[in-house]
Amino acid sequence: MIDLNADLGEGFGRWTLTDDDALLSVVTSANVACGFHAGDPSVMRRVCDLAAARGVRIGAQVSYRDLAGFGRRAMDVPSDELAAEVAYQIGALRVFAEAAGAEVAFVKPHGALYNRTVHDAEQAGAVVAGVGLAGGALPVLGLPGSRLLAAAADAGLTGVPEAFADRAYTARGTLVPRREPGSVVTDGDAVVRRALAFALEGSVEAVDGTAVAVAARSLCVHGDTPDAARIAARVREALEAAGADVGAFA
């Protein structure tokens, strides 16, 4: 079984970015922005209502407090402060998830925080501490081999290894930084090929042409990728045609 997730609710006020309606008809898990990099109460409520109605599992996509930079700028946040901010975001989303008759089922860091927790044990530990502060033993999505998944395991939480069908990988199994050319894969055919390789072979072709082992339980297609909904639909269709069981991990 492979989970298919996407980042949703990444709008604010009258500004929209992700096609939440279309993506929620395809994915099995929704990473919902919690107001720190995108999202506001109305957006969060709407996405939770739609996800609950369609049986899509709701996850808190927590971030550094960086609306202006969409959560993709490097920041140095003290551990105690970061843990509190992670708990705050989970709590905010939980209100709307429960009002929709669902629950917050997992946590996934966004952007700069996600990448920081691959190598930074202190920031990874702060994210996990925030999950604990919010209550409930929620699964945590992260890059395979990351400090985040190690911290989650140490805290008795389920760490869920994740792969990105629309992001380029280095030979070390990490994501190519977005500031570098070719870091985002936008060609639909290439995204589908990579998704099948992740799900069926547990590997991906890195930017240098080498094959990198990536054992993933969840597969992400970014909601802000051009034509994301159509590409996600193609990915799901291809996975199911190849015999993969597409379903939520949570």
62-92 pLDDT, tens digit each: 999 999 999 999 999 999 999 999 999 999 9
Q: Calculate mean pLDDT across residues 220-224.
A: 88
Q: Calculate mean pLDDT across residues 211-235.
A: 92
Per-residue pLDDT band for 167 (boundaries 50, 70, 90) equals very high
**Exposure string over 7-22, b if 16+ CB within 10 A, otherwise e:** bbbbbbeeeebbbbeb
Measure the CA–CA gap between 214 and 210, rounded to whole angstroms. Answer: 12
Residue 53 pLDDT greater than 90, yes or no: yes
Q: What is the pLDDT of residues 117-164, one digit of tens each?
A: 999 999 999 999 999 999 989 999 999 999 999 999 999 999 999 999
pLDDT at 16: 86
Measure the CA–CA gap between 164 and 174, rounded to whole angstroms. Answer: 10
Work out the mean pLDDT of the chain and round it to a whole number.
Answer: 95
pTM of the prediction?
0.95
Per-residue pLDDT band for 15 (boundaries 50, 70, 90) equals confident
